Structure 1
């Protein structure tokens, strides 16, 4: 399975490399406030966009993982509380009281 993943990674890398090499023409990049970058190779623009998307995706993934970790901690605390409550209940039920201790029989 690990070899299949590496073959797929290599295939994606080759396809992206060939796509990038076909798109090396200089382009004009219009940014905010009428700021313009002239004659930037398209491959650089594509790489920058890819890296920006990758960083944004990683940020979202980290935030989601932190939220899940917080939720797991909350659920563990709740589970510990419920288990402790169940153990206390078992202790109170586990030791049955003999009827003679509650209402002793009168001597005959």
Structure 2
């Protein structure tokens, strides 16, 4: 199984490496007010992908915090109900004996 996983990662590496070699031509990214940035295409694509992932993670952080708070409240509520003793289950109390 490890061999198959390593083979898969080697394939991914060589596919991305060949992508980088095939897209080494220079491109211009035009910004506002006449500014332009010249860089290899592979750098522009990888930078765009990385920034998109970073913005996606940052956009999900508030939802993660909200779910974490809700889960913490639920765990605390369960622990508080488990911590209160049940009056009917006290040992040594017998009805009418």
Say which SS state the counterpart of residue 73 (structure 1) adopts: helix
Contact 1:26 1:41 in 2 (8 A): yes
CA RMSD of aligned residues (A): 3.0
CA displacement 1:8-43 (0-9 Å, x = unmatched): 222111111111111111111123x33432432111
5+ residue gaps, structure 1, are 100-108
CA distance in 2 between partners of 1:51 and 1:90 (Å):
60
2:41 matched to 1:13? Answer: no
Aligned length: 97
Query: In structure 2, the residue corresponding to 1:97 is in which secondary structure?
Result: coil
TM-score, normalised relative to structure 2: 0.68
Equivalent runs, 1:1-108 vs 2, <5 Å? 1-31=1-31, 33-59=32-58, 65-85=64-84, 87-91=85-89, 95-98=93-96
- TM-score between the two structures when normalised by the length of structure 1: 0.63
Cα distance change, pair 64–2 in 1 and its aligned pair in 2 (3 A) = farther
Say whether the 8 Å CA contact 1:28–1:36 is kept in structure 2: no
